[in-house]
Structure formats: structure tokens, C-alpha cells
Amino acid sequence: MLSGLRWTRKYASNGINGIFASSLNLMFFCIFSVLVQQMMANLAVGPFIETKTTVTEIGATTEIQSVEEAMVRIKCVESTGNYDVYNYEGSGAFGAYQQMPQYWDGRCQNYVDAGGTLCLTSDGDSYPDAPNTYYSWCNENQDKVSRYMLEGYYNEYGSWNEAVRCWVGGPGARHSGSADEYLAKCLNADGSGVSSSTVTNIALLFKLLALCVFMILLGDHMMKLINKTFGGMGFKLTNEQ
């Protein structure tokens, strides 16, 4: 309607230029979005979450130096590193760290509430003779929950030796004779063991972030180029303006 008058015809021309520029932008970003989505979906990258395995050699000592060492010593004493051990004749504990089945789901839930992730028994990776619990008794769960408990004891008492004392009977029995005997067994354990921890692949996440930022900058540059090329006064309804 603005094109009928010579004084307002330039506004009609600008409107048509704007339609051209908007249509080209829409077409470009539809194609660009599909290409970026396909590229990100089919990009071959490593896992975002990695399981770091540490082999720890142990021998007689007077002071435990790390959570990995504490985990290996406890496994040596409790199960010689076997994750599928059921104490049928004694306490009824199960696994490499001899966790009590009646406390297992609660301890797992504490770990999940703290931000961790665990496998469920319904996932199908638990041991056939493992106790019937909501959370699985797979190796990964046993390592994660036991590490979480030991780190909690360490944060409270400031020593890995004290954390190991708490493994028998809990913090309330930390000064008992059974805790002294258990710590002595762990300090005198000899051999080697494997402990695992879950870490985030920060380098990979940073590379993917850099790629996304690059694609955003490329899209922004193309949008400005389209607006500059087709959004100016290139189209005119008439030369009588």
C-alpha cells in the first residue's frame, strides 16, 4: 500500500528487501541447523564419563595414604578382591567390601542423593547369588558406594586409618578392640589390587563446546552477510524515488 505514492515508495522497497533477507535467513538456518545436528549426532568421540582404573601395590605400613589404598586393603582383608563373595555362615555380608545387605539400598541412596549415579538390579548386571536389593551389586556400584563411605569417614575424622577403623561396626565402634584388630589386618595386608573411579572427560567436553561456539559464530557471520547483501536498497520498485 505504500508503493502507490512517490514519497513513501522507498518504505515499500525496504519492506520487500526485508522479506527477501528474512526468507534467505530462514532458509539458511533451517539447512544450517540440520547440518549441525547431523554433524554432532554422528561425530565420533570418546565417552564423556570415564572409569579410571588404578593398580595399587600394598605391603605392611603404618599409615594409609589414599582412598585407593584403603579400598584395596579392605578388599584384601574382606574378600581377596573377589566381588562375588557371600558370607553365608557369618554376618550375611556380600561383595568385595562385605557390605551388609540390609544397609545396602540406604547407602546407595545416600550416594545418589549426593549426585552420584548407580545401576539398578533391574538392569540385569548384578551377580546371580547377590542379595535381592533395589540397587545392583555390580563391581562398579560396590566401588562407588564404598569409596563414598570411606571419603565420608575421612572428611569427618581426617585420617584414612580412622576411616578404615569405621569399616567394622561404624563410627561408634571406632575405638573398640575389633576396630584395632581390623586396622592391624589392613595395615599388614600384602599384595596388589585394582580400584576404579569415575571421572568426567573435561578435555572432550571443552572441545565440543569450542566446536559449538565456532558454529554459532559462523551462523552469526552468515546472518550478517545475508542482511548486508539482501537487506539494503538493492530492490527498488521504480527509479522515480
Whether residues 194 and 206 share a domain: the answer is no
If you average pLDDT over every residue of the chain, what do you get?
A: 83
Taking only the tens place, the pLDDT of each residue in 67-85 is 988 999 999 899 888 899 8
Please give the DSSP secondary-structure letter assigned to residue 187. H
pTM of the model: 0.60
Whether 237 maps to a domain, the answer reads no
Q: Are residues 71 and 182 in the same domain?
A: yes
Does 216 lie in the same domain as 139?
A: no
Mean pLDDT of 214-227: 84
**Distance, CA of 194 to CA of 55 (rounded, Å):** 5
pLDDT of residue 185: 92
At 92 the pLDDT is: 83
CATH number at residue 126: 1.10.530.10
* pLDDT tens figures, 50-67: 666 666 667 888 899 989
Number of domains in the chain: 2
Residues 113, 151 within the same domain: yes
Measured N-to-C along each axis, helices 67-79 and 139-157 cross at an angle, to the nearest 10 degrees, of 120
Whether residue 66 is found in the same domain as residue 155 = yes
35 and 150 share one domain: no
- Is residue 235 in some structural domain? no
**Distance in angstroms (rounded) separating the CA atoms of residues 104 and 92:** 12
Helix 177-187 to helix 67-79 angle (10° resolution) is 100
Q: What is the torsion angle, in degrees rounded to the nearest 10, for the CA atoms of residue 207, residue 209, residue 215 and residue 217?
A: -110
Chain segment 123-167, per-residue pLDDT in tens: 877 888 889 999 999 998 999 999 999 999 999 999 999 999 999
Instruction: Report the pLDDT averaged over residues 9-17.
Output: 74
Same domain as 194, residue 104: yes
Tell me, what's the pLDDT at 88? 67
Domain that holds residue 140: 50-200
